[in-house]
Amino acid sequence: MLLNSIPIKKTVQALSNNVRAENIDYDSYVDLYAGVENIENINNRNNTVIYGRRGSGKTHLLRALAERIGEGFHESRNFPVYVDLRRIIPLVPSGVTTADVDAILIFKYVIQGLAHSVAKSLPQILGVNEFDPTTVLARKVGQEGLIDLFERIYLQFDGKEFKKPSALTVSEEEVSAISGAATLSVSPSAKLEGKRQRKEVKDTEKSSYISILDITDELERLLQSLDLNRITLLIDEWSEIDQDTQLFLAEIIKKTFSAIAVTLKIAAIPNRTNLGIKTEKKFFGLEDGGDIFGYPLDMRYVFEVNKTQTRDFFNNLLYKHLSSINQQVTEQFVLTKRISPERFINQFFANVALNEILVASAGVPRDFMNLFINSYDKYIIGSNSSANRISVKNLRSANSEWYETDKKEQVDKHHIERQLLVEIVQEVIEKKRSVHFLIPERHSANKHIQNLIDFRVIHLRKSGYSHKDHPGVSYNVYSIDYGCYNSLNITKNKLDTSMMDSLNLKDLREIRRVSLEDNFFQKFLMNIGEAFSCPHCGRPVDTNHLAYKKQKLCNNCYESVGVDKEKNTIPPAA
């Protein structure tokens, strides 16, 4: 069977339906998931936040984990509940409440979703056949007192089934209990002290609904009544919530679940997540390493660092997804080529093109699948009859178009990030003739760098690296998404890089002299108005640095540079 045969064409074309996990039409998320070790690594009782950029497979991982837990339910009595916050956010009034009120509402809808999932699965949980006329499920539910219990945690029972009421509300008592004693002085946008305007949202619709202050007891009753050892709550799209609201929601979750058998699994975007903050009195929210543990996906499949592991992962991903679409065609293709499934991906790409797509994907499965589909299309349209695999030319053309359709618009909407990207490309590619570069870790938290990573045009490759000329300084290794070269009008023939023409990738040690140092970032911050000259040391003060934001100190010499409120000027040096 040839690569350009009609059965292979139709199978690859149908792969577009699998690009997003929520659109996949397949019986098993576990069987389809590549990198099964990720499922096993987070299948435990620890609260976990799965970090990953868009397209990194967070949703698929959560759904696969829910399926795996469900498979062992009768032995473990651990019931999984999957909640997508994108379905809840539209239920929260927009622009009329504060972050704490929004958090309470979202939490109530999460609990409602949990209760509804459990209620729908009562036959399975109770071990009864709802279609057996000799079994009266409703009587058993009533005997266990479950109707009253479910109605107290935001459901309604119409005599036949449990339903979700149209709206939930918040009481002042609940707001006071969550935010009244907290002082988030280090987060100005989420301050709880002082006077503020708040529209009252009173709980008047149904008096039988309990306050969130009593949720812990009710959930414990639910666990005991149904003989459940644990509930695993899987919350997807956490980062779709405003970050101030995230903070309050994390605190509510901690207060509610910490003392009962509920395990939390969250999927979140690194640069858009705010789980907790240390205040003067306590830690508010979920503390990393204490209340919750991070599991990052972005750095697992980096070709420059782990060539074999990355190749095997994407080979497995491609084989599983094409098999899910048409197993007969996929197996026949493997049989015709006389190869094992472990060599499947090599039949699609020439050697250099294979290396290049693994680098260009930057460890993001969704980007890999889109690049594969588009480069295969280029192969079908542009290749002559003798071409038997996707070429480097096909891949680069597809990658350029993918950048234009998926990433360019996002970058162009943010002019500061675009300006920074242009300056990085000019400094690294034009001047240093490289694709990889170093940034000191102290600059890695810069919000504009983080946004470029979030947009998937800058890729973090390795953390904690050393620089030949700066011993003792820790750096991070990054690469520039080469799909942006054409868009930024960078002439590709200027490049002398392992990526463009001979992808026998250089050892990362060879790029230790390609670094963006303090002067690069200081000049950039001055140009965009996010820095000013310190009257004491003369160096630029980063107005986004915590030393300045919290105490109005220069982040270089740590002298006071507080603004004179009456004159709106920086005080002169003593």
Write the pLDDT tens digit of every residue in 405-417: 888 888 999 999 9
Across the chain, which distance is largest between two alpha carbons, in Å?
A: 89
pLDDT of residue 200: 42
Asked whether 99 and 248 are in contact (CB, 8 A), the reply is yes
Asked whether 39 and 30 are in contact (CB, 8 A), the reply is yes
pLDDT of residue 253: 96
Lowest-confidence region among 202-206, 233-237, 275-279: 202-206
Query: pTM, whole model, 2 decimals?
Result: 0.85
Lowest-confidence region among 173-182, 214-223, 487-496, 519-528: 487-496
Q: For the residues 249-263, what does the mean pLDDT come to?
A: 95
Beta bridge mates, 349: 390
Using pLDDT thresholds of 50, 70 and 90, give the confidence band for residue 487: low
Using pLDDT thresholds of 50, 70 and 90, give the confidence band for residue 434: confident
Averaged pLDDT score across all residues of the chain:
84
pLDDT of residue 195: 34
Distances 108 to 102, 215, 253, 275, 535 between C-alpha atoms, Å: 10, 9, 11, 18, 51
∠ CA 255-257-259, nearest 5°, is 90
Return the domain boundaries, the chain. 39-296, 307-393, 414-521, 530-574
Lowest-confidence region among 206-220, 283-297, 322-336, 448-462: 206-220
Using one digit for the tens of pLDDT, what is the confidence trace for 274-296?
999 988 888 999 999 999 999 99
Is pLDDT above 80 for 157?
Answer: yes
pLDDT of residue 98: 87
Highest mean pLDDT (candidates 67-81, 509-523, 524-538, 552-566): 67-81
How far apart are alpha carbons 59 and 83 in whole angstroms? 11
Report residue 218 CA to chain centroid gap. Answer: 31
How far apart are alpha carbons 322 and 226 in whole angstroms? 41
The percent of residues above 90 in pLDDT, for the chain, comes to 52
pLDDT of residue 2: 86
pLDDT of residue 306: 87
Q: For the residues 472-484, what does the mean pLDDT come to?
A: 86
Is pLDDT above 90 for 57?
Answer: yes
Pairing of strands 78-84, 230-236: parallel
Lowest-confidence region among 164-178, 467-481, 483-497: 483-497
Is pLDDT above 80 for 503?
Answer: no
Q: For the residues 22-31, what does the mean pLDDT come to?
A: 86
How far apart are alpha carbons 52 and 40 in whole angstroms? 17
Lowest-confidence region among 25-39, 475-489, 522-536: 475-489
Beta bridge mates, 265: 48, 234
Lowest-confidence region among 59-73, 311-325, 460-474, 545-559: 460-474
Q: For the residues 362-384, what does the mean pLDDT come to?
A: 91
Using one digit for the tens of pLDDT, what is the confidence trace for 133-153?
555 555 566 655 788 899 888
Q: Would you state the torsion angle of the CA atoms of residues 450, 455, 457, 459, taken in this order, to the nearest 10 degrees?
A: 50
Is pLDDT above 50 for 314?
Answer: yes
Q: For the residues 240-255, what does the mean pLDDT come to?
A: 95
The percent of residues above 70 in pLDDT, for the chain, comes to 84
Counts for the chain of helices (H) and strands (E), in that order: 24, 14
Lowest-confidence region among 57-71, 155-169, 357-371, 541-555: 155-169
Q: Which two tokens stand for residue 526?
A: 């001055």
Lowest-confidence region among 7-21, 166-180, 199-213, 472-486: 199-213
∠ CA 212-216-217, nearest 5°, is 110
Lowest-confidence region among 29-43, 153-167, 361-375: 153-167
Beta strands in 42-95 (DSSP E): 48-51, 78-84
Is pLDDT above 60 for 10?
Answer: yes
Using pLDDT thresholds of 50, 70 and 90, give the confidence band for residue 496: very low
Q: Which two tokens stand for residue 94?
A: 């927009």
- Residue 118 exposure: Cα atoms within 13 Å on the Cβ side: 29
More confident residue, 450 or 135: 450
How far apart are alpha carbons 223 and 215 in whole angstroms? 12
- In the numeric block, the tokens 């959560």 are attached to 62
Q: For the residues 352-378, what does the mean pLDDT come to?
A: 93
pLDDT of residue 235: 98
How far apart are alpha carbons 514 and 332 in whole angstroms? 48
Using pLDDT thresholds of 50, 70 and 90, give the confidence band for residue 467: confident
